[in-house]
Amino acid sequence: MSLVNLLEPGTKVTVSSTAPQTSKKALLTSSDECWTSTSLPSFVHLILPNPLNHVTHLALTFQGGFVATTISIYIAFQAGESDVNLGLAFGGKIYPEDKNKRQIFPIPFPPSQSNPFPSTAEPRIALEPTNLNPTPPTPAPITEVKLEFESSSDPHGRVTIYQLELLGAV
Q: Does 4-113+137-168 carry CATH code 2.60.120.260?
A: yes
Average pLDDT value for residue range 138-160 = 91
- Is residue 129 a contact partner of residue 111, using CB atoms and an 8 Å limit? no
Nearest-angstrom CA–CA distance, 148 and 141: 21
pLDDT digits over 19-60, tens only?
A: 999 999 999 988 889 999 999 999 999 999 999 988 999 999
Q: Is the pLDDT of residue 1 over 90?
A: no
pLDDT digits over 101-138, tens only?
A: 999 999 876 554 444 444 444 444 444 444 444 444 55
pLDDT digits over 5-23, tens only?
A: 999 999 999 999 999 999 9
SS (H, E, C) 64-122: CCCCEEEEEEEEEEECCCCCCECCCEEEEEECCCCCCCEEEEECCCCCECCCCCCCCCC
Q: Which has more pLDDT, 67 or 125?
A: 67
Q: Rounded to the nearest 5°, which phi and psi values hold at 40? A: -105, 155
Average pLDDT value for residue range 82-105 = 87
Measured in residues, the chain has a length of: 170
Q: Is the pLDDT of residue 76 over 50?
A: yes
